[in-house]
Structure 1
């Protein structure tokens, strides 16, 4: 690795740490919002507002995108919209924000698996060690009160699976790629600029969640009960938890290589659990702590090659 690439990787890591902080705060904003309004409608308004904020800043980039770049960005947004729909329903039905964050983080462990299934990337050996550890943590979280899973837990796990695909697609869209077709033809796909990519993705998520809300939720009742407090949570979530967070995340992923740049986000569930404890006064039972610890351990194992390099640098 060259010094330039090493500097880019270090910058990406720092930016992704900032993303985990913003993500942890976003969980709190979103939970407050879904206590007051329909969850899918909240997501539609949140992502629409966030998309408008970024469009005002990046309209020049949007005008320069090709049809192929718009198509690829919209594809990422469609997958992300589905993931966020499951995620917000998990937050709506879930009884524990911190636990939900660890369940959602399973998507990070599944990134190499999804990259293998969809793009034939070879996953590192650590993935096959991390998966059973993650499964054990998931099992522990399902044992509370007997062997069953709560609706919120199921939504979070489903969201994690779709997030894994989103992370893979987003990294590829944010980086240029050379593709060899079945007939041997070579096509170079230009990277989509981070700001434009994020903007298109956010608008697509708003469309996906808005469509779901229109079908499943009561809009007249929701807007009739709309209050300044609800508006405040939507605005906070749109600006801090969405526009800022996902722009920084997409930009950071554009500095990293392949699908493994996102796994530093293992910090997100830890921040979320901490913020939930401070904000909502949440606590965990010993079984919950054990399950969350195993999931976190699986994230570390999945990123073990990078962890080992960092430890080696510190000790030498």
Structure 2
């Protein structure tokens, strides 16, 4: 009797995209009342402490070279997160930011080409013009004027692409959960250093802030990365990538329902084109690599 295929890994990755969408909304609610740098510091330091009991033996067994590599990659991710949080704080359209952030998969081949001389596949050059059309429809809704937050989302996406490329190198020698724990700690540490420099204003806590901070830390960080790690353990990278591009869809739905965001048809078409180009790129790039 044949065993039925298990979709446990796919369901974990799908769950991680939903939790990531929740993270966009929770972050927006928190930074309306808390300085972004304070939020980043507290969120990621606490998240790394929560994950540490599950991998502390592996963390303390890391060699100095591995620690330095993970810390360096974590600093890149920290830069992306800091820019992302600032972009959220000045943005009125989270859904647009989420679609722009999804471009990390398109920008990554450029980074890999520059750093490691890995030439992008042919499908990359075919989908790039389609992606550019999507970006134009998504951002240029008031003539040839791009909102300030969109530039920061694009910068954050580029930094996230750099992290994606570098992280792939360090994961070859380190277990995913160990890597995530160290990198989350580095994000918090970088945030703490920035906080000491800029001296943000004191924060008066209330139940509203505490609730959304807990959602952001426990659900959108710890559970999200844990679900993503478990899912990626048993799912091929091409299938995982296809599922993970659903994140901006959940962000759009949550932003419209919870924040009352109004999305023009032009932006919906632009976001749809970006998702289509990402789908085609990931599908055919991995198909050609396995031939």
- Alignment TM-score, normalising by the size of structure 1: 0.82
Cα shift at 1:199: 0.8
Q: Which residue of 2 is the match for residue 265 of structure 1?
A: 244
Q: Which residue of 2 is the match for residue 83 of structure 1?
A: 80
Q: Is the 8 A contact 1:174 1:253 kept in 2?
A: no
User: In structure 2, the residue corresponding to 1:149 is in which secondary structure?
Assistant: coil
The correspondence of residues 10-159 of structure 1 with structure 2, limited to 5 A, is 13-159=10-156
Q: Is the 8 A contact 1:115 1:259 kept in 2?
A: no
For 1:23 and 1:111, the matched residues in 2 are separated by 20
Cα shift at 1:237: 0.9
Q: Which residue of 2 is the match for residue 214 of structure 1?
A: 196
For 1:229 and 1:171, the matched residues in 2 are separated by 38
- How many aligned residue pairs are there? 284
Q: Is the 8 A contact 1:112 1:259 kept in 2?
A: no
- Mind listing any 5+ residue stretches in structure 2 that lack a counterpart? none
Q: Is the 8 A contact 2:74 2:187 kept in 1?
A: yes
The correspondence of residues 266-285 of structure 1 with structure 2, limited to 5 A, is 266-285=245-264
The answer on 1:302 being equivalent to 2:284 is no
- Mind listing any 5+ residue stretches in structure 1 that lack a counterpart? 1-6, 176-190, 310-316
User: In structure 2, the residue corresponding to 1:303 is in which secondary structure?
Assistant: helix
Q: Is the 8 A contact 2:238 2:286 kept in 1?
A: no
- Alignment TM-score, normalising by the size of structure 2: 0.88
The alpha-carbon distance between structure 1 residues 93 and 206, as it changes in their structure 2 partners (threshold 3 A), is same
Q: Deviations over 1:239-274 (max 9, x none)?
A: 111112223334545667789954542111011111
For 1:70 and 1:79, the matched residues in 2 are separated by 14
The alpha-carbon distance between structure 1 residues 116 and 124, as it changes in their structure 2 partners (threshold 3 A), is same
Q: Deviations over 1:15-73 (max 9, x none)?
A: 33222111111111111111111112101110011011011222111111111221121
Query: More relative contact order in 1 or in 2 (CA 8 Å, sep 6+)?
Result: 2
Q: Which residue of 2 is the match for residue 183 of structure 1?
A: none
Q: Which residue of 2 is the match for residue 185 of structure 1?
A: none
For 2:124 and 2:167, the matched residues in 1 are separated by 20
For 2:92 and 2:184, the matched residues in 1 are separated by 27
For 1:120 and 1:12, the matched residues in 2 are separated by 32
For 1:34 and 1:101, the matched residues in 2 are separated by 17
Cα shift at 1:226: 2.5
For 1:257 and 1:68, the matched residues in 2 are separated by 28
Cα shift at 1:308: 7.5
Question: How much is the aligned-residue C-alpha RMSD, in angstroms?
Answer: 2.5
For 1:47 and 1:130, the matched residues in 2 are separated by 35
